[in-house]
Amino acid sequence: MNQIYFEAKGEALLARIGMSKSEFARRMGIRKQNVKALFKTKNLETIHKASEVLGVPFVLLVGYIEEPDLSDPPIAVDEKDNKEIVIREDDIPTGDTVEDRRRRQQIIMSFYHNWKQLNPESKKYNLSLKDDINIRFISVKETAGHASLTYLSTLAVLQLDAILTNAVFIEKLPANPKKNNQRGFESMIKMSYHCPGIGLVKMLVGVKRSDMSKVQYCITAIDAGKTKQEAQSTSC
């Protein structure tokens, strides 16, 4: 089985950037003796966190070392005038295999990583709420987990700027106490946006209990052709 760059070159990368194993372990929240095992993880959320700690692109860490050119990342991400992130639709798998879902999850997490580089404040003003919607780690984690289940939802995430700005308020709901990732929120706001060529897109926004700021929680496409059970199983 091919090794990803994080597994094959992780320790060499630490040496190259001058970070000790102790410091890397501290920032990752693990013990020093577990660093070697960490480099073998296939958990994309963990690798995404490591990319932020190491200051290297996520797409580099998840690329296979056998690929001929790591400077040409496995996900086609280009920048236009430093204002727009472009990922070709043809690069997004349309199937339903485990590998297809893993690939879509990579694309979503890479997209967010690049979006945050171009948007250092990590927020957009929403016209309906008349307030900023912030992007946090939970935004990437939840959206990558849910939206990667389908091609349309992955495609919808690429319209992040339009969704954050133009999604309209639908209803306000209490946070679900049974979901660990919602425990920091006082309430959840359900919003929707019609994406051309995709259809209706649902966005959940969490209202933080600590300061009442708004955080994008999850984005998924609503496929009208699915049954209610199918829709509930793939939406956040």
Tens-of-pLDDT digits for all 236 residues of the chain? Answer: 567 778 888 888 888 778 899 999 999 999 999 999 999 888 878 888 888 888 776 766 776 554 333 333 333 444 443 344 556 677 788 888 888 888 898 899 889 988 988 999 999 999 999 999 999 988 998 998 889 888 999 999 999 999 999 999 999 999 998 888 898 999 999 999 998 888 899 999 999 999 999 999 999 998 634 433 444 445 56
Q: Are 97 and 16 in a shared domain?
A: no
Query: Which alpha helices (H) appear in 18-97, and where do they start and end?
Result: 21-28, 35-38, 44-54, 58-62
Q: Are 186 and 143 in a shared domain?
A: yes
Residue 187 and residue 200 in contact, taking contact as beta carbons nearer than 8 Å: no
Q: Are 105 and 49 in a shared domain?
A: no
Do the domain assignments include residue 68? Answer: no
Do the domain assignments include residue 154? Answer: yes
Q: Are 20 and 58 in a shared domain?
A: yes
Do the domain assignments include residue 210? Answer: yes
C-alpha distances in angstroms, 128 versus 34, 132, 136, 138, 168? Answer: 46, 10, 20, 22, 5
Residue 95 has what pLDDT? 87
What is the rounded distance in angstroms from the CA atom of residue 45 to the CA atom of residue 64?
A: 17
Residue 236 has what pLDDT? 65
Q: Are 94 and 136 in a shared domain?
A: yes
Q: Are 198 and 140 in a shared domain?
A: yes
Do the domain assignments include residue 67? Answer: no
Side chain identity at residue 95, one-letter code: G
Do the domain assignments include residue 157? Answer: yes
Q: Locate 141 and state its tokens.
A: 């984690």
Total number of domains constituting the chain: 2
Do the domain assignments include residue 48? Answer: yes
Do the domain assignments include residue 56? Answer: yes
Domain containing 39 equals 5-62
What is the rounded distance in angstroms from the CA atom of residue 57 to the CA atom of residue 225?
A: 37
DSSP E strands in the chain: the ranges are: 77-80, 84-87, 123-126, 131-134, 168-174, 185-195, 199-208, 214-221
Closest CA to 56 of 5, 124, 118, 127: 5
N-terminal to C-terminal alpha carbon distance within the chain: 33
Do the domain assignments include residue 151? Answer: yes
Residue 63 has what pLDDT? 67
- pTM surpassing 0.95? no
